[in-house]
Structure 1
Amino acid sequence: MGILQYREVTKRYGSSLALDHLDLDLEPGRIVGLLGPNGAGKTTMIKMAAGLIKPSAGTVLVDGMEPGKETKAETAYLSDRVVFSDYMTAQDLVKMHEEFFKDFDRKKAVDMLISLGIKGSMKVGEMSKGTKEKLQLILVMSRRAKVYLLDEPVGGVDPAARDYILDTIITNYSPDALVVISTHLISEVESVLDDIVFVKEGKIFLHRPADELREENGKSVEELFKGVFKC
């Protein structure tokens, strides 16, 4: 049984159908690429696992439990939008996360801040969009979570920082944890992905190991994606 499961999950926003009887089972110890065009349902899936929205029908399970207080304690969620208050400093946010999450590693967070040149005294309102996103990722990856849900983790950072960020992801999660990365920058993250999930029109179109896909088709995941979605 996977650590993250979607069972016949449907989600409607008014008359719009975001997820359509979606089934998916994700195992721990894997880095999974959740890939699909805009509007495919990727962010909805991640927010459900994070306990931020509920399905209209069906069931989502994290470590055997429906998302709630208990699962939030073992799920680290990176939003596709920066949600920090402008007046807070990087140091304030480290302290807040340390107090809020029992699994937060303060030393790891401080070391990553130093590596990326983010001063503890710097206020969020003074940071560039890319720096805010780096800070947000640092705080998420400094937790020892069972499930990491990363929505566009490299979308707003400069190319020079992407390798560092991907290295941060693959070196700072537990080997028995699950990492789910939703992104449209497939070529940037393909090298770190163990499994590929294509989401199309609210359903799972494909779920396969990345190496098997490349070997069988003789193409990169990005090339396969373009073929499937006719980009």
Structure 2
Amino acid sequence: MNDIVTFQQVVKSYGRKRALDGITLSFPKGKVIGLLGENGAGKSTMFKMMVNLIQPTSGEVRVLGQKPSWRLNERIAYLSDRARWYKHHSVEEAIRFGARVFPHFDLEKAKQMAAFMKLEPTQIVGDMSKGQEARLQLLLSLARDVDLILLDEPFSGIDLLSREKIVELMIDTLTEGEKTIIISTHDIHEVEGLFEHVLFLKGGNVVSQTDVEALRQKGLSIQEEYRRVMG
């Protein structure tokens, strides 16, 4: 199986509004993939379908060769754009809680990531900056030994230092075996060097999909291609 996720003629309607308009696409296995588009393009809807939070109005979604299900989510780490943690937890308590509730969670790896991200074990989540909490959320996802990692706007509204630390942690994660990471972001310049494959969504439709190497051979950056296809 060369594709880790496929959408086949998928429609998602909310009343008269279509969040996804009959899209057909595939996400290649073992790559870092950018899912790019404006607000309302359908990116978060696609992520939620992959983890069985919402169902398509019509069409079929397959993840790891199967229909999305709660059981299949044991093999998926999903960081939503609205993720929050328990405000009363310390960093250490959050990590230990994650080890209890998340399948395939590496406790020691999470502790090492926390140190790398400059998060003190005794820090209380409710006292953290938005950037610090974003780092904690990310490490709780990346500490899981799973096939598929979904990151929905991991840089949204956070400071430059936290963005740099998050990118460093992603790079470190990519050296550990064959995982597929799909990242939805508006901050293309932060992670352009990580992407191997990109998909561009506009108005619930796929307007372009390509390997990044093919763009580079044309002398184009991802940001230039984004402006071209989304303009």
**Same fold flag (TM > 0.5):** yes
Letter in 2 for 1:41: G
Residues 66-125 of structure 1 deviation map (CA, whole Å, 9 limit, x = unaligned): 111221100000111232121122222211211122311111111111122212222211
Structure 1 window deviating more from structure 2 (37-46 vs 64-73): it is 64-73
Aligned residues: 229
Residue from 195, 203, 206 that aligns with 1:204:
206
In structure 2, the partner of 1:181 is: 183
In structure 2, the partner of 1:127 is: 128
Distance 1:13 1:170 in 2: 37
Residue segments in structure 2 that go unaligned for 5+ positions in a row = none
Residue segments in structure 1 that go unaligned for 5+ positions in a row = none
In structure 2, the partner of 1:195 is: 197
Alpha-carbon offset, residue 5 of structure 1:
1.1
- Is 2:141 the counterpart of 1:140? yes
In structure 2, the partner of 1:213 is: 215
Q: Would you say the 8 A contact 1:82–1:132 is kept in 2?
A: no
In structure 2, the partner of 1:223 is: 224
Distance 2:171 2:132 in 1: 20
Distance 1:66 1:97 in 2: 26
Q: Would you say the 8 A contact 1:194–1:211 is kept in 2?
A: yes
Letter in 1 for 2:125: V
In structure 2, the partner of 1:25 is: 26
Q: TM-score, normalised by structure 1?
A: 0.94
Spell out structure 1 runs of 4+ moving beyond 6 A: none
Q: Would you say the 8 A contact 1:10–1:58 is kept in 2?
A: yes
Letter in 2 for 1:208: T
- Give aligned-pair identity as a percent: 36
Q: Would you say the 8 A contact 2:208–2:229 is kept in 1?
A: no
Letter in 1 for 2:91: A
Distance 2:194 2:220 in 1: 16
CA RMSD of aligned residues (A): 1.4
In structure 1, the partner of 2:58 is: 57
Distance 1:109 1:117 in 2: 12
In structure 1, the partner of 2:9 is: 8
Letter in 1 for 2:229: V
